[in-house]
Amino acid sequence: MSDFEIPALLDRVFDRSEVSGDTRALLTTPIRALRVTIPLRRDDGTLDAYPAWRVQYDTTLGPGKGGVRFHPAVCGAEVTGLSFWMTLKCALLDLPFGGAKGGIQVDPKALSPLEVERLARGYVAAVADLIGPDRDIPAPDVNTNPRIMGWMADEYSKIARSHQPAAMTGKPYELGGCEARMTATGRGALIVLQEWIARQGKRPEDITIAVQGFGSAGGNFACLAHEAGFRIVAVSDSKAAIRDPEGIDPVPIFACKQAEKEEGDMLYCSSSVADQDGQEEIAQDDLLKLDVDVLALAAMEDAVTKANVGDIKAPLIVELANGPVSAEADETLTRRDHTLLPGVLVNAGGVTVSYYEWMQSRSGAHWDAETVEARLKSRMVDAATRVFERMDEEDVPAREAAYSLAVERIARAVKSRGDRSYFAG
């Protein structure tokens, strides 16, 4: 991403929904953006410095909510764009949160575990005045995980001089985390997909899926979809891609990658999906070109752009990542009658279960995994149903329908406090 710009689609949403100028003004730019530098003492004694950001886009509906990513490509524009999507996502799912996001421009895989810990704690120290259970609640994102969130929660409690488990979500279960949190994004995506194909009169066993990205979101989605009867024919991670037209069982592949972290006490996997025998290895870019029913994008932003959109054959694209399809590619796919289910709906399972974790951390309650998953399903089905019904009512793509519903909820909250129509008499 270069400089962040509000999607042109939002202007159409504003006009169609007839929202007030107040709402337009609030959603045009973030309310708060902080850029800091995190000094890191390396294990060899040298000192490095890493740029980092925390952006709160809108807090009309509640405190900011959004992950923290560690990645070499992180920049202010990217974090701002992600916080914008979080704003819409929380509004669409009817959560009491605004949108926020954070990140550090770093390759964490080049650091030792102790260096990653110091970096994570340094980030919290740098943004502590902006975050907290009632201000802005960080969560995991790209290259951050429960262990890192546990370090962050611990650091925030030290700074606050009190136990503050609700300041972070996505923590280890033993530190106040929520059961079913790590599978939540993948499970939520599967629920949306199931609702969509049911409306099309199709069955899981008739659907082939290729999954780009085999981290927490993509890996869990692939495993859960396989267990639900879908045929996973290709998967890829940051190192390799594999394919089998007869179907891949992703469960042992994902379990192997997870075991490497848990048994080896590592933060990140060094293995790839191609390390197990039995499937054909293909070029990573070729996965996007496969003639499958569903292309699930669970890697990074801009996986599909105007440069490669012509290669896409899948009639249904499902966004597990944030912004994996560029605006130009989105328009092209829509013209070609592809259906695209947007990330603000599809990947909202993560923030939804983070909401449940936040509630439990504030109250000291505990819900078992079955309860969390049942509540997640109810909320995801409701959101998906509203989006699909809006698509039919107004004959608009899924993204426009989702944006409209989210903006309208924010607009109602703005109006309830008094907007121009009220103060102008």
From the list 101, 158, 257, 289, the catalytic residue is: 101
- Alpha helices for 128-270 (secondary structure H): 146-160, 184-199, 216-227, 250-263
Query: Among residues 134, 130, 60, which one has the least CA distance to residue 101?
Result: 130
Q: What's the CA gap between 13 and 190, in Å, rounded?
A: 27
Q: Name the residue type at position 120.
A: A
Q: Which residues contact 391 (CB under 8 A, 6 or more apart)?
A: 397, 398, 401
Distance of alpha carbon 153 from the chain centroid: 20
The answer to whether 230 and 209 are in contact (CB under 8 A) is yes
Our answer to whether residue 101 is catalytic in this structure is yes
Strand partners, 105: 71
**Which of 312-331 are b and which e, b meaning 16 or more Cβ less than 10 Å from the residue's Cβ?**
bebebbbbbbbbbbbbebbb
Sheet holding 47-58, edge to edge: 32-41, 47-58, 98-105, 64-71, 136-140
**Which of 92-102 are b and which e, b meaning 16 or more Cβ less than 10 Å from the residue's Cβ?**
bbbbebbbbbb
Q: What's the CA gap between 240 and 248, in Å, rounded?
A: 15
Query: Among residues 17, 2, 94, which one has the least CA distance to residue 352?
Result: 94
Q: Name the residue type at position 162.
A: S
Strand, helix or coil at 338?
coil
Q: Which residues are catalytic?
A: 101
